[in-house]
Amino acid sequence: MPRKIIIDTDPGQDDAVAILLALASSELEVLGITCVAGNVPLALTEVNARKVCELAGRADMRVFAGCDRPLMRRLITAEHVHGKTGLDGVALPAPTMPLQSAHAVDFLIDTLRAEPAGSVTLVPIGPLTNIAMAMRKAPDIVGRIAEIVLMGGAYFEVGNITPAAEFNIHVDPEAAEIVFRAGCPLVVMPLDVTHKALTTRPRIEALRALGPVGQVVASWTDFFERFDMEKYGSEGAPLHDPCTIAYLLKPELFTGREINVEIETGSALTLGMTVADWWRVSGRAPNALFMGDMDAEGFFALLTDRLGRL
């Protein structure tokens, strides 16, 4: 039986690769894709999600638009990394598949209520606004979530959008606090892990050689890696979001620790910081499996194999 998941996303080239990896993998049944404002405004993320589904030959996928701004704050976007469209690289055709009429938050609630309790995994790879809103609107769904596997936060790497915070958590820290305190099983892929999933030359050329889908993916990484290579002086850029899907497919690629993670929502300097008790000094109960390391070669082997199936 494939594992049922909902991807909550703000594409974003690395989000797009995560969606492709999920759609290429028969172990996963993607029940729907819910979009949120993040890397770019909602009007672009929902169009980008549909473009990516069509690229994967999955015009039948249900794509929903959700919250267009954080719970309590003005939206911060990341065009400086992802480009004006959020999906700069090779221009994909405008999607012909429809956007679903339901709001993403209602789709999340209805699906979690309709499916057997404990059977649906959420994979948030953008700001956590939709997920937190669903939990607030329908608290009964919290106990029905099998697991949340999200990309966000950092410990040793500290921050990317500010010196102290990672983008997805910083954009909507109040939403992140709701999700981290909800009490459902939580797996966190922080920058400490995703900064190891680097787009080196051989890895990207292997993807490019796959054919049309691989060439689009390589055009995306060609675009956004310039920014990260300059910023970090690294030999490639981190492919953050697909780490979540890779974890669902091959958890043995990742190692981490069950620890307590709290979200800073009060300080101007450290807003959205994931205060991760890696050394377990706080005495606070663990609420997350916080990843610390990954097998990057194994990850790219998996990604290349799966994208080759599209």
Find out whether 31 and 120 touch, Cβ atoms under 8 Å: yes
Nearest CA to 52 among 22, 83, 82?
22
Residue 167, contacted partner among ligand BDR, Ca ion, none, CB below 5-8 A by kind? ligand BDR
DSSP 210: T
Find out whether 6 and 108 touch, Cβ atoms under 8 Å: yes
Which listed residue (5, 6, 13, 15) binds Ca ion by CB under 5 A?
Answer: 15
Distance CA 87, CA 174 (A): 27
Positions 9 through 28 that interact with ligand BDR (CB under 6 A): 12, 14-15
Q: Which residues contact 306 (CB under 8 A, 6 or more apart)?
A: 21, 24, 25, 249
Positions 136 through 155 that interact with ligand BDR (CB under 6 A): 151
Residue 195, contacted partner among ligand BDR, Ca ion, none, CB below 5-8 A by kind? none
Using CB under 6 A as the binding rule, whether residue 166 contacts ligand BDR is answered as: yes
Using CB under 6 A as the binding rule, whether residue 167 contacts ligand BDR is answered as: yes
Using CB under 6 A as the binding rule, whether residue 240 contacts ligand BDR is answered as: yes
Find out whether 165 and 190 touch, Cβ atoms under 8 Å: no
What binding mask, one character per residue, do residues 243-282 give for Ca ion by CB under 5 A, x or -?
----------------------------------------
Quick count: other Cβ atoms within 10 Å of Cβ 98? Answer: 10
Using CB under 5 A as the binding rule, whether residue 172 contacts Ca ion is answered as: no
**What residues are labeled active site?**
240
Using CB under 6 A as the binding rule, whether residue 172 contacts ligand BDR is answered as: no
Positions 229 through 248 that interact with Ca ion (CB under 5 A): 241
The dihedral formed by the CA atoms of 140, 112, 125 and 178, expressed in degrees to the nearest 10 = 0
Q: Which residues contact 156 (CB under 8 A, 6 or more apart)?
A: 192
Minimum CB distance to ligand BDR, residue 162 (Å): 11
Using CB under 5 A as the binding rule, whether residue 152 contacts Ca ion is answered as: no
Which residues lie near ligand BDR (CB under 6 A)? 12, 14-15, 39, 78, 81, 125-126, 151, 160, 166-168, 240-241
Where on the chain is the footprint of Ca ion (CB under 5 A)?
A: 10, 12, 15, 125-126, 241
